[in-house]
């Protein structure tokens, strides 16, 4: 599958939990593997491709509002580049915790 996004209204943070592929962020093609994390803003050109032999498993979070860009920057993800997590299992666990909390409902 290939996704090309040009005018998505949110800031997106994506974490790669499995598989391999590549992302194009702002015209720069970068490899994705377990532990990769990146962010894209509303004006960021983003293309995503998964390796058919090892499909990507991804977690993503969308942020909106006047403070979203600043939060992404403070997290070290403000530039259009892929970063590699040093503890991918711990980060996957944090994403799973977010999903459980969201499923519980409420504020």
For residue range 54-69, what is the model confidence (pLDDT) as tens digits? Answer: 999 999 989 999 999 9
The pLDDT-based confidence of 78 (bands split at 50, 70, 90) is confident
pTM, entire model: 0.85
The pLDDT-based confidence of 104 (bands split at 50, 70, 90) is confident
Report the pLDDT value the prediction gives residue 43, as an integer from 0 to 100.
80
The pLDDT-based confidence of 41 (bands split at 50, 70, 90) is confident
Q: Which of 5, 10, 52, 50 is nearest to 25 (CA)?
A: 5
Report the pLDDT value the prediction gives residue 50, as an integer from 0 to 100.
94
């Amino acid at each position: 599958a290939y996704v090309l996004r040009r005018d998505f209204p949110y800031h997106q943070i994506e974490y790669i939990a499995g598989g391999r592929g590549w992302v194009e962020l702002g015209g720069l093609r970068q490899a994705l593997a377990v532990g990769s994390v990146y962010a894209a803003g509303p004006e960021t050109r983003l293309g995503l491709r998964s390796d058919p032999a090892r499909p990507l498993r991804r977690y993503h979070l969308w942020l909106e509002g006047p403070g979203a860009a600043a939060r992404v920057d403070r997290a070290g993800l403000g530039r259009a580049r892929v970063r590699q997590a040093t503890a991918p299992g711990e980060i996957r666990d944090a994403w799973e915790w977010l999903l459980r909390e969201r499923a519980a409902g409420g504020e």
